[in-house]
Amino acid sequence: TVLVVDFGAQYAQLIARRVRECHVYSEIVPPTMPVADMLAKKPAAIILSGGPASVYAEGAPRVPAGLFDTGLPTFGICYGFQAMVQELGGTVAETGSSEFGRTQARTGSGDSVLFGGLPGVQTVWMSHGDSVTAAPEGFTTTSTTDSTPVAAVEAPDRGLFGVQFHPEVLHTDHGTEVLRRFLEAAGCRRTWTMVNIVDEQVERIRTQIGEKRAICALSGGVDSAVAGALVQRAIGSQLTCVFVDHGLLRKGEVEQVEKDFVAATGAQLRVVEAQDQFLAALEGVSEPEEKRRIIGREFIRIFERTARELVAESDAAGQDVEFLVQGTLYPDVVESGGGNGTANIKSHHNVGGLPEDLAFDLVEPLRELFKDEVRRVGEELGLPHDMVWRHPFPGPGLGIRIIGEVTRERLDTLREADAIAREELSRADLDGEIWQCPVVLLAGVQSVGVQGDGRTYGHPVVLRPVSSEDAMTADWSRVPYDTLATISNRITNEVGGINRVALDVTSKPPATIEWE
């Protein structure tokens, strides 16, 4: 295990992912975690992440006390580098010359562990105000830039390394290689592979569930499908998958789960028809968090009811369904505030919306995984390509893509518009480039249009195509104008009540991907 100490601003997530891409398991921990607790996790190495603070600011996070006494190999990045230098007696100064974005770094020193053999000048991604002006005693300076006299240091005999730039971002030419070299120098074993993840999870699930029964909440999305397939592999017929048709689904979704998922996994599937129940519960509600709570609550009610029905039907009298399988991912856990006290941005319903008196124990086999890892696990388990690579879709479904009250008619409208956008993006071969493209119905907004010979007073939909690596941050996708034009034409021609199509050109942050 490599522990990534999170100094804030979401750099830690990306570092953890890159470490795992090097086949080494990594976990994010807060800087407030006592070193004794870190040691209990038996880490092979520590990485100190970047962060927004200045080491001089009051209350700025510090390197955990006693970390450098442990002798653990440690790699400081950006803020983590500065905090490390400060702790070990070097100098960090406000030089007045900050660097942001692409920068040329000289890394010519031939015998550097991190840079030896790489090009002597490379492009790196910088984002800092303060700079290190003197390395601590015993460290060699291995890189400089025009405005940063000490851009990287190392003391390989002590296993200590630091860089001012961000090796985890793709704009840094040899970033992953630099990270890989640190992991190698730290003696990390490369055991984090998909086969190992599957085997280990199957073992864990068997231990957790034993001879008991479980139900799995399928949403039609990748995460719950992979979670279900994993649990199916672990406990076979003790699992029943439940797919709730809550009426907030996209076109064709029920059919895909009924056909493809069952064919690939052999799982027992029960489709619960619950459109009326959800619509009734959502009547008159427009506040997003309220919608999420209601949808989460209705889901749980259905699972509890289904579990009782299963017990009633089964021959093995008294064999309760005690476990609920969910496809919760690592970023869900972190973003819902379950990680390190990070801000609660919105309650993703599979984490935040569970009632306190939940009648099940949760099985969350993907809780430690990032999306791309989940996809690779899905492939390893033999799920169909279309299912594994489909775009993410939120648990609360179209319910949080109608801005305003959710009604049957609005759902039908949005479903049609969404199907057109998906179809045209696929036709333009953009599925790989685009992370997802929510279509959002602004139900409370009306505008004037002219369609046929008459005046219309209809609603706009917003296209929200985004590119992202893990949904933690995202940029709006530069979809070709022609594709946008086709989507716009088709939606306004084919979907009644829509007379305007708008494009959302906001990144995340400051916006989120979904509108609610």
> Using an 8 Å Cβ cutoff, are 352 and 326 in contact?
no
Site pattern 176..195 for ligand XMP (x: CB under 6 A): --------------------
Q: Provide, rounded to whole angstroms, the least separation between the CB of residue 88 and ligand XMP.
A: 38
Q: Provide, rounded to whole angstroms, the least separation between the CB of residue 318 and ligand XMP.
A: 34
Instruction: Choose the binding region for ligand XMP from 8-16, 79-87, 140-148, 394-402 (rule: CB under 6 A).
Output: 394-402
Written as one letter, the residue type at 471 is A
Q: Provide, rounded to whole angstroms, the least separation between the CB of residue 326 and ligand XMP.
A: 9
Helices 194-209 and 222-235: angle between axes, nearest 10 degrees: 60
> Using an 8 Å Cβ cutoff, are 308 and 270 in contact?
no
Nearest to 515 by CA among 353, 280, 291, 283: 291
* Cα distance between residue 7 and residue 10, in whole Å: 8
How many Cα neighbours within 13 Å face the side chain of 213? 18
Name residues contacting ligand XMP, limited to 329-358 (CB under 6 A): 346, 348-350
Q: Among the options 22, 78, 216, 241, which is catalytic?
A: 78
Q: Among the options 87, 99, 168, 253, which is catalytic?
A: 168
Based on CB atoms, which residue is closest to ligand XMP, 394 or 458? 394
Asked if 52 touches ligand XMP (CB under 6 A), the answer is no
- Residue numbers in the known binding site are 219-225
Specify the DSSP element, H or E, that contains 307.
Answer: helix 288-313
Nearest to 187 by CA among 113, 126, 115: 113
The DSSP letter of residue 158 is G
Based on CB atoms, which residue is closest to ligand XMP, 213 or 250? 250
- Residue that is written with structure tokens 């470490």 in the block: 19
Site residue total, ligand XMP (CB under 6 A) = 15
Asked if 220 touches ligand XMP (CB under 6 A), the answer is no
Asked if 514 touches ligand XMP (CB under 6 A), the answer is yes
Site pattern 243..282 for ligand XMP (x: CB under 6 A): ----------------------------------------
Q: Among the options 22, 99, 166, 241, which is catalytic?
A: 166
Mapped onto helix, strand or coil, the DSSP state of residue 507 is coil
Asked if 508 touches ligand XMP (CB under 6 A), the answer is yes
Name residues contacting ligand XMP, limited to 439-458 (CB under 6 A): none
Asked if 216 touches ligand XMP (CB under 6 A), the answer is no
Asked if 399 touches ligand XMP (CB under 6 A), the answer is no
* Cα distance between residue 384 and residue 263, in whole Å: 9
* Cα distance between residue 5 and residue 454, in whole Å: 62
Q: Provide, rounded to whole angstroms, the least separation between the CB of residue 421 and ligand XMP.
A: 14
- Residue numbers in the known binding site for ATP are 219-225
> Using an 8 Å Cβ cutoff, are 28 and 16 in contact?
yes
> Using an 8 Å Cβ cutoff, are 243 and 272 in contact?
yes
Q: Provide, rounded to whole angstroms, the least separation between the CB of residue 139 and ligand XMP.
A: 40
How many Cα neighbours within 13 Å face the side chain of 343? 6
Task: Spell out where 224-316 has E strands.
Answer: 239-245, 268-273
Asked if 392 touches ligand XMP (CB under 6 A), the answer is yes
Residue 216 annotated in active site: no
274: how many CB neighbours lie within 10 A of its CB? 18
> Using an 8 Å Cβ cutoff, are 288 and 346 in contact?
yes
Q: Provide, rounded to whole angstroms, the least separation between the CB of residue 504 and ligand XMP.
A: 12
Based on CB atoms, which residue is closest to ligand XMP, 33 or 502? 502
Q: Is 110 left (phi over 0), alpha (psi -120 to 50) or beta?
A: alpha
Q: Provide, rounded to whole angstroms, the least separation between the CB of residue 304 and ligand XMP.
A: 20
Residue 335 annotated in active site: no
Encode 153-194 in three state secondary structure. Answer: EEEHHHCEEEECCCCCCCCCCCHHHHHHHHHHHCCCCCCCCH
Site pattern 277..306 for ligand XMP (x: CB under 6 A): ---------------x--------------
Residue 241 annotated in active site: no
Based on CB atoms, which residue is closest to ligand XMP, 96 or 432? 432
* Active-site annotation, residues: 78, 166, 168
- Binding residues for ligand XMP, per CB under 6 A? 292, 346, 348-350, 392, 394-396, 436, 471, 508, 512-514
